[in-house]
Structure 1
């Protein structure tokens, strides 16, 4: 029997075994507000499930079926749920971003998220994909266990990090997306969280190897992580096994995950600090009360810890963090073939005619369509391959079956941005170094660039440096509508997103991908259409009359700094006029005498009396005019 036949038989046996051993996991969740005090400083309401917060860690295995019944327990807002990093092959409707793959879940409504976990393992998470809700607590860990994990360890530990605000997104978002915040300065968090708390403790035993799954489930800032006198050995990123790399300093953007091995000491003589630090380059200002370094603890000896906690372990420099670009997949997947299709997108932050600072790809800020884009793809028939039907403000690109696609992202902004692609991992084949603010941005030049790696690092969330570029490559082998966006929640709210409509013909021909009744009901509850183009037009898919579009541009010459100057000038002018009006209406009986004294002019009593009569006459005239006007 030849080797291809043997290989086929082995694969078939493996698949059959997985199918036999597969389980179905069913959860019922109801969104509720929960009183909590995550940072120990300020009590506020967080979004929980079933009157409990933090949200539970969900565990499944490869091949298992997941059924989550999510009921919207709010009475004043919609919601949704996204399973970050899961490919959702054949189940695009379950991906979660509202108005991309589903209608929002209205108050009182329930959606069944029903899908099978395919060939994926590792650390993932789930979160709301609606209006900043995951920053309010609607986030949790999703682990896909692997019976064939490639590295040895003794015990697994899950660690989440993130930032925390004392105000809810309902309060922060209007302040952020405001003409009074023309530079688009993001809200500054109050604290860093470590397993949804502060000053956390990790109890360990000596001579053990721990598998530590670290997930940044925050919505804004990247964080540095390091341990006193311990090291991280990286073995997985974003569900991709990698060749071991040991480092003493990690850097995680929001939405990134690292799985590492940590070897403990052989004694319990002392305890150690486990440090986190905010990336201050992402903050427009640093309040005095913000603790930039979070101190947590690796506890070997509880008695010693009760007596005295370890001091913060600070580094002289945080510039030597591990660069994930140099990781290599354990599978040794080579660089994909040259791109069949290249999407070049430029990132900018600018103000529109309403004075608000928005985020743009190629001068377009993402505005949600009137019909979920997946539903447009399924109902557009022969027009589904025409990008026009998906709207002029959705930044949509149609991909052909099995195309090798390059996303060339030129960051013309002065900040870092972590970008996430739904439905795929991508190979990061180039990332240019950061360019200082005072210099011009550097764009990708196809004829002059760095050499690309033979075995590029692959993951689902990667960051671009300020004023530089990066190139991501993937294969379009998963029919569906997939969101690509900055995972800084504030920037997504500003519109920093595109849509990839992948092989819409195959999508239409797959009976498992058709809109189910549950999704149609969700749309009906909100009065939304579940077919038609981006403008909900079913008669003529090329007619976008009435589609949602961005505000008009500012007049030529306006910049963010100019708008700042204009806003403050207007405020100063209004305050000045108010002061003039207030003091001008005061009845000052000796005004001429005061003026004369200030001017060093002598006036006699007769002149003063005559002047005083004139003043009183003017005052009476003003009062008469006011009375007549009223």
Structure 2
């Protein structure tokens, strides 16, 4: 009887699998990536990265279980590119993850690449360029995985996908950032903030009594945003692709790269429309230009002919807003806290200056620097040495993780700014963080850093929230755990794109022997390397004869000589600037002669003051 029952169950599982495979389909997108012109804020027309001659970009939509194929041709002419499908685990398809020089070579102008993988996930994701720093130029959009079996599938009538982002009028290539003229590493201030890639005012039609699923994604490069709807609460049902137990809330804090899905039930009246408000986290900005609009109003539209009122949200109280704490969200599957870790990574974030006078970012004194061979390709070509972290170079900050190890990351922040950290290939459990969201989030900003003490911490949650992007507070810390059950090369990095450019990331080489066994890199990807002139065998230095010889590897800049500080650099830079300007004025007067001794002399006061105001000390 037992054998018969077991055989019946086995046949049932097989039948269900066959049905699922039969229902799955292949969804294909052909992307011709070129420059197009756009003016999303109505203030400045500029070139943006378009797809098939259009911008905003198309939302990728698939059903859970589908095969997603994206054929991308780079028609940009001057920029290399790639696509990262943010939040996709890429089980057994690590080579489809997308970050250049990590899992593939950059796709140079005139070259093509095909991404092909199965989507065995559900929820709200996005895709973006992951080569250098190209996605602030517009190469980003939502990716939605529909799930007919979600527990809340019968709880809503319609759904909307909504994105928010910061926006720059300058092309990224024209913004001077990592430069000795910016020794504090002050991030470029956006020129605008967009909602669904516009500032024109978005109306979401609402029918009385109906319930709507709103998918929210911050696809910006820098600034987090608060979100709320006047006179409405909502139920949070998903974060970063992880279903949660419904939790009522009235405000969210959405950092760059984070996503939420919420259920909003419409009122039974059509008398008025309600502001749907986004507020940029102005604390992240070193300066706030007088013409920068931080708060934006869009609407739940119950009545087209009724007034569409503007929300009143003074910018100066943005840091006092009180959003829901994402650590309080319980996963719907109630996965319990993982056991004590097999590997603990104790890491410290800091913003520093190297000897070129520019600002950089480090984790444990290493600023991520790309290797000469994509790290995945080093895994595939290094044989038994793949388990030796040395072959991946000194400056990719590579950590080799054992298969199925429980990994705990302790991330301490020496910086007075916050950092949304994203882990490719995984969600992680949110185990601890200080300070917490809400009015206390910036408690440590102006004080000395507070480091995590494993012997003195709050009680860990029984059912920790899970997501793939988690915010590290200013001068605070967080602790996360995950299981290394997905062999691959995965980046762990700050998702503020300026900070990644500064080197705020590291590499996890997870189960390298299993990577070699399970990964097949298609010829098309090798062709991309050939077109780019990038080697696909060898260690981080491109050495194929001796994988432990790193001569010629790419290196981070040298450290400043002892005794130099950021304030010293600032003083030195501006002293030099003042000296040159002063000499220029003297020269000008010497050439032109003094025509009127009663006229007020030219000074540099206003320029110096404006420059000093933008410096973060």
Normalising by structure 1, we get a TM-score of 0.90
Match 1:47 to one of 46, 49, 53: 49
Match 2:31 to one of 21, 29, 32: 29
Match 2:462 to one of 454, 459, 463: 454
Alignment check: 8 A CA contact 1:485 1:498 kept = yes
Report the secondary structure of 1:439's partner residue.
Answer: coil
1:70-111 CA-to-partner distances (Å, cap 9, x unmatched) read 000011111100000000001011000000000000111100
- Equivalent residue for 2:513? 505
- Equivalent residue for 1:321? 323
Larger Rg: 1
Matched, 1:520 2:526: yes
Matched, 1:157 2:163: no
- Equivalent residue for 1:551? 557
1:578-597 CA-to-partner distances (Å, cap 9, x unmatched) read 333444566789x9xx9xxx
In structure 2, C-alpha distance between the alignment counterparts of 1:226 and 1:150, rounded to whole Å: 24
In structure 1, C-alpha distance between the alignment counterparts of 2:312 and 2:270, rounded to whole Å: 19
1:22-59 CA-to-partner distances (Å, cap 9, x unmatched) read 10111111111111111122211111101011111111
Structure 1, unaligned runs of 5 or more: 595-630
In structure 2, C-alpha distance between the alignment counterparts of 1:475 and 1:553, rounded to whole Å: 35
- Equivalent residue for 1:140? 141
In structure 1, C-alpha distance between the alignment counterparts of 2:591 and 2:359, rounded to whole Å: 39
- Offset, 1:8: 5.0
From the superposition, tell whether residues 579 and 207 of structure 1 become closer, same or farther in structure 2 (CA, over 3 Å).
Answer: same
From the superposition, tell whether residues 126 and 585 of structure 1 become closer, same or farther in structure 2 (CA, over 3 Å).
Answer: closer
- Equivalent residue for 2:71? 69
- Equivalent residue for 2:566? 560
- Equivalent residue for 1:598? none
Structure 2, unaligned runs of 5 or more: 436-441, 599-617
Matched, 1:127 2:135: no
- Offset, 1:231: 1.4
Alignment check: 8 A CA contact 1:162 1:219 kept = yes
Match 1:474 to one of 482, 487, 504: 482
Alignment check: 8 A CA contact 2:444 2:476 kept = no
In structure 2, C-alpha distance between the alignment counterparts of 1:588 and 1:204, rounded to whole Å: 71
- Offset, 1:297: 1.5
- Equivalent residue for 1:284? 286
Match 1:389 to one of 388, 391, 406: 391
Once the two structures are superposed, the pairs formed by residues 250-289 of structure 1 within 5 Å of their partners are: 250-289=252-291
From the superposition, tell whether residues 6 and 287 of structure 1 become closer, same or farther in structure 2 (CA, over 3 Å).
Answer: farther
1:466-510 CA-to-partner distances (Å, cap 9, x unmatched) read 101101100000011001100000001111010000000111122
Matched, 1:532 2:538: yes
Once the two structures are superposed, the pairs formed by residues 282-431 of structure 1 within 5 Å of their partners are: 282-304=284-306, 308-314=307-313, 318-431=320-433
From the superposition, tell whether residues 249 and 6 of structure 1 become closer, same or farther in structure 2 (CA, over 3 Å).
Answer: farther
1:589-621 CA-to-partner distances (Å, cap 9, x unmatched) read 9x9xx9xxxxxxxxxxxxxxxxxxxxxxxxxxx
Normalising by structure 2, we get a TM-score of 0.92
In structure 2, C-alpha distance between the alignment counterparts of 1:552 and 1:59, rounded to whole Å: 46
In structure 2, C-alpha distance between the alignment counterparts of 1:55 and 1:354, rounded to whole Å: 38
More off after superposition, 64-73 vs 428-437: 428-437
1:516-573 CA-to-partner distances (Å, cap 9, x unmatched) read 2111111111211001000000000000000000111111121222111110001111
Provide the aligned length of Structure 1 versus Structure 2: 584
Alignment check: 8 A CA contact 1:485 1:492 kept = yes
In structure 2, C-alpha distance between the alignment counterparts of 1:345 and 1:556, rounded to whole Å: 23
Alignment check: 8 A CA contact 2:156 2:212 kept = yes
